[in-house]
Amino acid sequence: MVIYGVYIVSKSGGLIFNHDHNVPKIENEHTFSYPLDIKLVYENKKVVVSFGQREGIMVGHVLTAANGMPVTGKQLDDGRDVLEVIENSESYPLTLKFSRPRMTTNEKIFLASMFYPLFAIASQLSPEPKSSGIEVLEADTFKLHCFQTLTGVKFMVVAEPSQTGVDLLLKKIYELYADFALKNPFYSLEMPVRCELFDSNLQTLLEQIEKTGISNV
């Protein structure tokens, strides 16, 4: 079983816990001729693709190296501005490496706040009364599984599409949350979960499930 991430959303829609477990690192390296047929811009302290895509390089991917030299922000390791190098026709042919960016905490908070109203809308659109809302959100490369407790707290697991038994995993995570977060005298409801015992036991649970499967836990 491959688990990409675990998220806990409070009953008011705020992200109170997130754990990146096994997010694959996607990198693409290609040699370009002049002029560059994709548009790069500097934003949020990184050079990203803002227009155009080819051979796995997509809008939003981050430039990480040029001719094998790492890029930090918009500077190469030798101090040169990478955007100036890219604009100079004498730099070509130029080999550029791109990677998919990792989500920041702020981006995860924003996505959690978007999921909350979608969950509520799904419950209202259901032709059956007392709908449980969104339980599975399926895409071509992942599935998002959601379990809502009676108090309104939502537990979400992002896993590869072929995985089964994630509903049991969600309940196991809920048990860990009840044992190590709710019983912690220093934890307050609706606040971010910062509990070392919960983190370590969750990590152990995910690793065990990936090795032996959910039925052996």
Which CATH number characterizes residue 146's domain? 3.30.450.70
Contact 165, 215 (CB under 8 A): yes
pLDDT on residue 60: 84
pLDDT per position as a tens digit, 15-36: 999 998 876 667 888 899 988 8
The bridge status of strand 136-138 relative to strand 154-159 is unpaired
pLDDT tier at 1, thresholds 50, 70, 90: low
Q: Can you give the pLDDT at residue 205? A: 92
Centre a 10 Å sphere on the Cβ of residue 28 and count the other Cβ atoms it contains: 16
CATH number at residue 87: 2.30.42.40
Closest CA to 15 of 97, 144, 110: 110
Domain count for the chain: 2
pLDDT averaged over the chain? 87
d(CA 182, CA 176): 9
Last residue of a domain, one of 84, 99, 114: 99
Question: Which residues form the domain of 55?
Answer: 27-99
* pLDDT over threshold 70, residue 135: yes
> Is 59 in the same domain as 112?
no
95 and 110 fall within a common domain: no
Identify the pLDDT of residue 148. 92
